[in-house]
Amino acid sequence: MTQDPAPALPSGNCPVQSNHLPSSELPKSSNPRDRAVQQNDKGTVKAVTPPGLQQPSPAQKYRNWLSTVSLAAIKNSVKSNIGLAYRQISQTVQSPDQTPYADLYGRTKNNLAEDSADKAELLPKPQADSGTPHLSDFPPQPAAPPCPPTLAWGIHITTTSSSSTKRRAASPKPSSPPPAIISSTSPFPAAIDEDNLYKAHKVSSQNTYTPISLVHLFSFAFLAIVLIVQFFFADTPSIHSRTVKRYSPTSFSPPAHIVEGGTCESPPPFPTEHPISRPHTMALAAEAKRIAADFEISDTDLNKINLEFVQQMKEGLAKNATNMSQIPTFVTAVPNGTEKGLYLAVDLGGTNFRVCSINLHGDTTFDIVQSKVAIPKELMVAKTAKELFSFLAKQIELFLREHHEDHFNAHIRRRQTISTPEGFRDEHIFRLGFTFSFPVHQIGINRGTLMRWTKGFDIADAVGQDVCKLLQDEIDILKLPVRVAALVNDTVGTLMARSYTSPGKTSTLLGAIFGTGTNGAYVERLDKITKPMDGEFDNSTGDMVVNTEWGSFDNSMKVLPSTIYDQILDQESVNPGIQMFEKRVSGMFLGEILRIVLVQTLKTPAVSLFSGLEIASTAPLHATGGVDSSILSEAEADSSADLSKLREYMKTSLGVSAATVEDALAVKEIAHAIAIRAARLSGIAIGAIILETGRLNPGASAVPAPKSTASIVEDVKSLNLAEAASATVSKLANTAGLAVNEDEIVDVGVDGSLVEFYPKFEEYMREALRTLDGIGAAGERRIRIGIAKDGSGVGAALIALVAAKMEKPLDYLIPLKGKLDEIKAGIS
């Protein structure tokens, strides 16, 4: 059913002033709501503003209201209507389909009664009326003054929900009159029109009027003030909040180019001696990974390096003055484990001089006795070679008197009773192997001229002289039963020591050192050595041990990997452009490479390596050559979560105290990459020699040497050092050997701190071997790698043994014949 548009809300719900028409002059009507003034049994007067009268302007209403309302009245009105307004809003929201004012007056009744007796009195509710009142129901009345804030104000709300509007319009009115809300003590003298009060919610199909109390306006104003305050003071820091640094924007540039890295500060709850963590950026971890990637060698590059290695080996066999010298050693045989006898060895390799005697048992085992003495510094820079070599001969005499007294005394007795040189028999003389770790030009198995001094020695008189003869002359002056039988390179000694102690039927192909330096010596066919060789040698075996001097491989840098750190190391070294392979493999340089990397990284503040730590200028980290390569082994071995052992080791090795876990992780990753590269390059050197000799090819000569049944003996003396060396074979090699025929095994002896102490160094070498063309996984399984200890001692003695076998009959009389010639010359 279509309803008439709702008229303007009458103002009868507002109190009127005393100048309105008196109740006696208002027209009478049968309808109670048509009466202008009615009086209940309590004497309360209420007025009704008839519809149709013109409403004053808003400005006029405000002026009229302001002249009649006091501040006290406003306070009382607000206080008494807060509950009314709240319940009105709640009811409107919760039950929008009900006419809110019917229930509202019931709740208001209770509220006023509880507040005070003088605030309001109850009035009987008006009778219910059916339908919506028409405009004609309201008689004309004078304009009412503006409503005070105590009562509801009408506000026009447009709605699009016609069904909801109709339901509200059809809602019945209450059956009883509403209570009076202006008591006799109210500051407003006028009464309130009960009819307009009930019709405050006048609705139609298109418009709805909802009363809003003054508390709504106050709430809206308060909310607006709060929002304004928050808006203008949003950046003001809280009094009790901590200041936190903002993160810098993420940069997609390489970590090394980040200008300022964001930090996350999280101080420990209490001071610690060794902080686990400190403010660090992600740039440190990223930079460590980037540096580690620079040291990686791809499988393709490995094969390129291997091919070049083989090529330079062949060049060294054909001519002199090449990168790899391929020096013939004049040793034409290797031991097979059946050798017996007592031999001497001396080692002059640095600041110490070692003398030892080796007793070979003939069953791949031996005993060793040794002594070591420091060389006086004044002798290292003596004016003549005689001063140094006489000191060495004297140490040999003292060793014989102490450890071989019976043999030495017997020799003295024989020497005093003989009258002819024939009295000196061969078995009475010790053969001695002389390990001389300085550059020499070898022209025979026991002949070699000194090219230059190194390692702090500087005796100009000795350069160009035969070092074996210099030592032998001083031994003869002391009349010792000793003959210098062989000039020994320590790498050749490693090959000889491994060949004597290796298990199985095949002899050792290669001896290699991966320690302070790196080098290799292997058994080569004589017919492949085409360059001229000076000196005499036994060619009956068809083989010769060759000293590769592979530390100088690829000095021209055709295929070797190179980083900026390698270039800095080479420029700062005493021999730039030389020993380029050794500078990437040996322990002398690996620690220095790590040091250079760390120093260069410290120059990039954004990386935050050792951030906030004070490192002394005298610390090993800032000293050229100050970092030992042992830190690489320590870093690899420490697998703890906090890397406590590595951080503790960094105190002494680097001079860095209180390093964090992040620092240690970076050092560990970089050190690992440097060591892996060294191991893979070492694998290339081994693989190149195996491929060049053709040992993996069917029918290739393995230099078989028959071994006695004693070589199988497992009961070895407790002092036998070679037993431990022979047993020191990797699990990988042993496992691989189980599936390979013994005749197909290629034996390799290795020595040095890297291969012995760096975890998994052999495993990384084998990974490289498996990637090489011509070897692969099948060839790698045939390679047996074992530790060969004390090449400069045991190996030198074994070379002396081999040299003794090469001597011609009565060669032992040659030194005595020389003495007789000198005597005759003196007499004449």
What letter would DSSP give residue 51? T
Residue 316 pLDDT exceeds 60: yes
CA 791 – CA 69 distance, rounded (Å): 117
CA 422 – CA 482 distance, rounded (Å): 16
CA 761 – CA 675 distance, rounded (Å): 8
- Highest-pLDDT range among 76-80, 184-188, 276-280, 466-470: 466-470
What was the pLDDT predicted at 265? 42
Residue 820 pLDDT exceeds 70: no
* Cβ partners under 8 Å of residue 775, min gap 6: 687, 690, 691, 696, 769, 783
Which of 420-424, 658-662, 764-768 has the lowest average pLDDT? 420-424
Q: Reduce the DSSP state of residue 373 to 3 states and report it.
A: strand
Q: Reduce the DSSP state of residue 311 to 3 states and report it.
A: helix
What was the pLDDT predicted at 528? 95
CA 730 – CA 162 distance, rounded (Å): 93
What was the pLDDT predicted at 438? 84
CA 399 – CA 397 distance, rounded (Å): 5
Mean pLDDT calculated for residue range 776-792: 92
- Which amino acid type is present at position 138? F
- Which amino acid type is present at position 163? S
Which of 279-283, 382-386, 532-536, 735-739 has the lowest average pLDDT? 735-739
Percent of the chain at pLDDT > 90 equals 44
What letter would DSSP give residue 791? I
What was the pLDDT predicted at 37? 45
Q: Is pLDDT larger for residue 428 or for residue 351? A: 351
DSSP-derived pairing of the beta strands 207-212 and 153-158: antiparallel
- Which amino acid type is present at position 783? I
435-494 per-position pLDDT tens digit: 998 888 888 999 999 988 888 888 999 999 999 999 999 999 999 999 999 999 889 999
232-276 per-position pLDDT tens digit: 765 555 444 444 444 344 443 444 444 444 444 444 433 344 444
Mean pLDDT calculated for residue range 581-605: 95
Q: Which helix (H) or strand (E) holds 347?
A: strand 340-348
Percent of the chain at pLDDT > 70 equals 59
What was the pLDDT predicted at 3? 47
**pTM for the full model?**
0.61
* Cβ partners under 8 Å of residue 209, min gap 6: 6, 9, 154, 155, 156, 157, 200, 201, 202, 203
Q: Name the residue among 43, 53, 309, 85 with its Cα closest to residue 183.
A: 43
DSSP-derived pairing of the beta strands 518-525 and 508-514: antiparallel
Mean pLDDT calculated for residue range 558-586: 95
Q: Is pLDDT larger for residue 701 or for residue 385? A: 385
712-736 per-position pLDDT tens digit: 333 333 333 333 443 343 433 444 4
Name the average pLDDT for the chain: 74
Which of 6-15, 51-60, 375-384, 664-673 has the lowest average pLDDT? 6-15
Note whether 472 and 383 are within 8 A (CB).
Answer: no
CA 735 – CA 731 distance, rounded (Å): 6
HSE (side-chain half, CA atoms, 13 Å) at 508? 34
Angle at 28 between CA 24 and CA 33, to 5 degrees: 105
643-657 per-position pLDDT tens digit: 999 999 999 999 999
DSSP string, 402-462: HH-HHHHHHHHHHHHH--SGGGS-GGGSEEEEEEE-S-EEEEETTEEEE----TT---GGG
Note whether 478 and 393 are within 8 A (CB).
Answer: yes
Note whether 417 and 501 are within 8 A (CB).
Answer: no
What letter would DSSP give residue 794? I
First-last CA distance in the chain: 163
Q: Is pLDDT larger for residue 206 or for residue 541? A: 541
Residue 786 pLDDT exceeds 90: yes
What was the pLDDT predicted at 735? 40
95-147 per-position pLDDT tens digit: 444 444 445 445 545 554 555 444 444 444 444 444 444 444 445 545 544 54
What was the pLDDT predicted at 818? 56
Q: Reduce the DSSP state of residue 476 to 3 states and report it.
A: helix
Q: Is pLDDT larger for residue 100 or for residue 599? A: 599
What was the pLDDT predicted at 600? 95
Secondary structure E strands in 454-517: 482-488, 508-514
611-630 per-position pLDDT tens digit: 889 899 999 999 999 999 99
668-714 per-position pLDDT tens digit: 999 999 999 999 999 999 999 999 999 998 655 544 443 433 333 33
Q: Is pLDDT larger for residue 377 or for residue 22? A: 377
What was the pLDDT predicted at 663? 95
Q: Which residues pair with 370 in a beta bridge?
A: 356
Q: Is pLDDT larger for residue 369 or for residue 223? A: 369
Note whether 592 and 579 are within 8 A (CB).
Answer: no
CA 393 – CA 370 distance, rounded (Å): 15
Q: What is the CA radius of gyration of the chain?
A: 55
- Provide the H-helix boundaries in 694-729: 721-727
What was the pLDDT predicted at 548? 95
Q: Which helix (H) or strand (E) holds 367?
A: strand 366-374
What was the pLDDT predicted at 490? 87
Residue 636 pLDDT exceeds 60: yes
* Cβ partners under 8 Å of residue 492, min gap 6: 329, 331, 511, 521, 545, 547, 791, 795, 799
Chain centre distance of CA 770: 28
Residue 344 pLDDT exceeds 70: yes
What was the pLDDT predicted at 426? 53
Q: How far from 749 is each of 495, 592, 683, CA to CA, in Å?
A: 6, 27, 13
Residue 200 pLDDT exceeds 70: no
> Which tokens in the block code for residue 37?
């003034």
Q: Is pLDDT larger for residue 642 or for residue 59? A: 642
Q: At what angle do helices 587-602 and 630-637 cross, to 10 degrees?
A: 80
Instruction: Characterise 416 by phi-psi region: left (phi > 0), alpha (psi -120 to 50), beta (else).
Output: alpha
Residues in the chain: 828
CA 743 – CA 764 distance, rounded (Å): 25
* Cβ partners under 8 Å of residue 158, min gap 6: 206, 207, 208
Q: Name the residue among 559, 491, 512 with its Cα closest to residue 761.
A: 512
DSSP string, 378-396: HHHT-SSHHHHHHHHHHHH
Q: Name the residue among 50, 63, 41, 40 with its Cα closest to residue 12.
A: 50
